[in-house]
Chains A and B, each alone.
Chain A
Amino acid sequence: MNALRRHRALERIWASRPGWRGKLTTVNNNDIGLMFLSLAVTFFAVGGILAMLIRAQLATPRSAFMGPDVYNQVFTMHGTVMMFLFAIPLFEGLTVYLLPKMLGTRDLAFPRLSAFGFWCYAFGGSLLIVSLLAGIAPESGWFMYPPLSSTLGSPGINADFWLLGITFVEISAISASVEIVVTVLLYRAPGMSLDKLPIFAWYMLVVAVMILTGFPPLILGSLLLELERAFGMPFFQAAAGGDSILWQHLFWLFGHPEVYIIFLPAAGVVSTVLPVMARTTLLGYGWIVAGAITLGVMSFGIWVHHMYATGIPHMGLAFFSAASTLVAVPTGVQIFAWIGTLWKGRPEMHLPMLWILAFFATFVMGGLTGVMVAMVPFDWQSHDTYFVVAHLHYVLVGGFVFPMLAGLYYWLPHFTGRQRYFKLGKTAFWLIVLGFHGTFLLLHWAGLLGMRRRIDSIEPGSGWELINLLASVGGFVMAIGFALVLIDVGVNVAVTVRGRRNPWGAGTLEWAMPSPSPSYNLASLPKVHSRNPLQDDPDLPVRIARGEGYLGDPGSGLREILAVEIASGRPSCLVIFPTNSALPIVMAFVTGGIFVGMLIKIYWLVPLSVLGVAALAAWWAWSLGNRGDLGLQPVGHGLVLLRASEVARPPGWWGSLFLLLADGVFFGALLFGYVFLWTVAPNWPPPAWLEPGLSGPLLALGGAVLAFGGIRLADRAIRCNAGPWLGLLLSLAGLAALGSAAITVLARTTHDAHAYDATLWVVAGYVVFHAAVAGLMTVFLVLRAGAGYLSARRIGEARIVRLWIDYAVAAAVLGLGAAWLPEVLT
């Protein structure tokens, strides 16, 4: 088969359906990545217009441009859109598009999950934009502190849009993170061991784990605040045993890692683009990997440095001040590695390089002001002033937007397949950089002069008038620059001439395919021997196109891909990916019913939507796997491998493991909240502790033993090719008992009596939910066993269900134990 015929055959297998319907049903990473990127840029434009409205308002004293009510919505939505609807989805989109290509594979680990995540993002983001257009947008600031955001300070529907819309959007981030982690660990070109991973993949691995562990506290906080607003469960109301500081802890447990979640992908872009621009290889690869991991973990240890002004004792302040200074070290390691790379190379001043230099200057300045605000005495002086506003814009725009623009211009020839034509881009560069510093360098000064953030008007004679006028001029110059970038990209896409492959002479595998990339990315999967395969072997793209790698024969008509061992990169099994489907968009739509039902208070829609999601998930999962043992399959070069459905730990098991990591962090944050209220909140202890009685603990204990033992019995039966019915039945009975034990907690407490009771309701609800999910999965397994999908070799599905049952048991034992413990102790 020649290269052209192979290309046509693979396109038939991997491409989306033609026309606009194809966009609704596609699960291909190229389509989903571009859809993410397009929508994120659209939201960036919305956030940018809101920023210009803010600058127009503050350009002159006592401006009548906007009233306070509108202004509050505008600045809240500016922050919200930029953080949640632009920054995170932008790098998700870039990663969805690029990561499989860089790793030398054909798609991400779970293509339908990619599509589901995108549609959750699109629907959730739209919900927020609708609120803005309707004039009922959130108005409590992007970090939504109660009591301002509770019904006391925000009685309308505005805050609900934020709490529900953002949680809906976060499903997309969690989905993408599970995808990224499993893809980096399992889906790589054969031979790509951990030391040969493209540096961008390391960064994204760290970022994805950070999202899985950083977002759950915010999801929990949003859930608790929404429950307080909707049902009067007083988690944040001091009079009833709550504490508004709990929100700040939950928010910043997410919010500080969030800064690094945004920065690290940009650092990954810099580490990828910089060596190519400098005509050399990256200096200190191992140090940079260590720096990224250290930065990722340490970023979780500094959440309280946003809360210095809340009256925390000196020792607590000192912990977080020390940690905040320490985090500068791994950042510095990366910056010095980049400088060293420049030093040993021969840098060429192409446009991506200009953006990287702008990043260096701006981010270092933002980092230094970050060290300043890490110092408690300085922070007390500058807290809630424009100094902090200027600092965070230096870090986020300098540390994220500028590197992303470097990436945009670096990969634009890959996206378009056209030659570079960047004259307009250089004009835009200077407008943006000068406009940015003209705005925010000056606003540091306004902050030091005492200008508070979020004020809708400045007074004549305050000394801030000229600064704000100049900052507004700078802001509009920057906006013109961004508009020029959009025009420039349009020109590049539309009118420039076809270019050659790999115009920069890069060494990573995304340049080993035609541009724009075909739907299958690589015609065959290459064997990799170094971090820069294209520099070692310039003919590699041709040999890939000829089908000389693995899986070069498209004869099966299936979407075939290889999974590898995590450490060594040796091929481990053959995976068949699902085809295009409307299931992801339908499921995202039905998921939206949960949030819309809560928002407009049609509560019957919520359980109905949950059931709909469960039914669709079962339908989704039913289409996977196979009814017979297929045995070893040829994958090329004489290698034969088992199908993923015939290994004990298929990719779905790994996906479940990392999803449960996020779930576990959510539960950990809930228990933290419980302990926090018990320790710190006023009006504790509650009037009465919950009495466990005898039935609840007995049900919990018996249920845990039955569920835990039953699934293992079933597992053993499947391995012996016997019927797993008894074990599965015992598991089901055990899960029912666990759920019943949790219901005894609900029956003995009143949800709105005290923060203690409200917390127990959430803990017990969590246990009931997980027992129900594990129970449904067990029923699904019964049906699958009956339909012949399980065998001694095809045990992977049972192992996935076992994982979920074990988690449900652990959550029940811990959660119900925590609920009953205070009464036992007293």
Chain B
Amino acid sequence: MTDILRLSLPLTAWLAAFSAVYGLQGLVCSDRWAEAGLDLTAGRIALTTAWAAAVALQLVFLVVLHSPRFTSRSAFVHGVSRTLAVAALVATLWTLLPVVTTSACL
């Protein structure tokens, strides 16, 4: 089971973070955000922070999967899980890049 978790966790975390940031962007652009007394600058800060946290989480996965304490005994699982962790890191960097490059609510 732990090998299955090694293989599935980083990309699942990307999917969760991606969906959560999309949801946060929806919230920032909704009336509820303004009703809470927050503006778009606060929204941009929240989105960027969420992106940074998602990237940091993926870096943690990479380090953990690389460490002898947590790595799999199977060379195959070790190799594939590290590849998937790199893929998840790249996906987090690329797919959430719009939080700093596009308008939030237009």
Contact = CB atoms under 8 A, between A and B. Distances in A.
Interface of A: 185, 193-195, 286-287, 289-290, 293-294, 297-298, 300-301, 304, 313-316, 318-319, 322-323, 326, 330, 566-567, 672, 675-676, 678-680
Contacts of A676: 26
A330 B90 CA distance: 12
A301 B15 contact: yes
> Most B CB atoms within 10 A — which of A315, A322, A679?
A315
Contacts of A319: 18, 21-22, 25, 95-96, 98
B80 to A, nearest CB: 5
A322 B91 CA distance: 9
Given A567-B77, A680-B26, 11 more contacts: A195-B75, A286-B76, A294-B87, A297-B12, A300-B15, A304-B22, A314-B98, A319-B18, A322-B95, A326-B91, A566-B3
Contact of A195 (B14, B76, B97): B76
B106 A314 contact: yes
Contact of A290 (B3, B14, B87): B87
A297 B101 contact: no
Given A318-B101, A322-B94, A326-B94, A679 B83 contact: no
Contact of B74 (A185, A195, A315, A316): A195
A549 B22 CA distance: 53
Interface string B27-71: 101101000000000000001000000000000000000000000
> Most B CB atoms within 10 A — which of A290, A304, A676?
A290
Interface of B: 1-4, 7-8, 11-12, 14-15, 18-19, 21-23, 25-27, 29-30, 32, 47, 72-77, 79-80, 83-84, 87, 90-91, 94-99, 101-106
Contacts of A293: 7-8, 11, 80, 84
Give the dominant DSSP class at A's interface: helix
7 contacts: A287-B83, A293-B8, A297-B14, A301-B19, A301-B91, A326-B90, A680-B30
Nearest to B77: A194
> Most A CB atoms within 10 A — which of B2, B4, B97?
B4
A286 B80 contact: yes
Nearest to A302: B95
B101 A301 contact: no
A315 B99 contact: yes
Nearest to B4: A566
A330 B86 CA distance: 13
B102 to A, nearest CB: 5
Contacts of A567: 2-3, 72-74, 77
Nearest to A325: B94
Contacts of A315: 25, 47, 98-99, 102-105
Nearest to B47: A315
Contacts of B25: 313, 315-316, 319
B9 to A, nearest CB: 11
A294 B95 contact: no
Contact of B97 (A301, A304, A322): A322
B54 to A, nearest CB: 12
A251 to B, nearest CB: 16
B30 A679 contact: yes
Contacts of A679: 23, 26-27, 30, 32
A486 B19 CA distance: 45
B29 to A, nearest CB: 6
Question: What are the 5 closest A-B residue pairs judged by CB atoms, nearest first?
Answer: A195-B76, A318-B98, A297-B11, A290-B83, A567-B3
Contacts of A298: 11, 15, 91
Contacts of B95: 301, 319, 322-323, 326
Nearest to A567: B3
Given A322-B98, A567-B74, A678-B32, A290 B80 contact: yes
B10 to A, nearest CB: 9
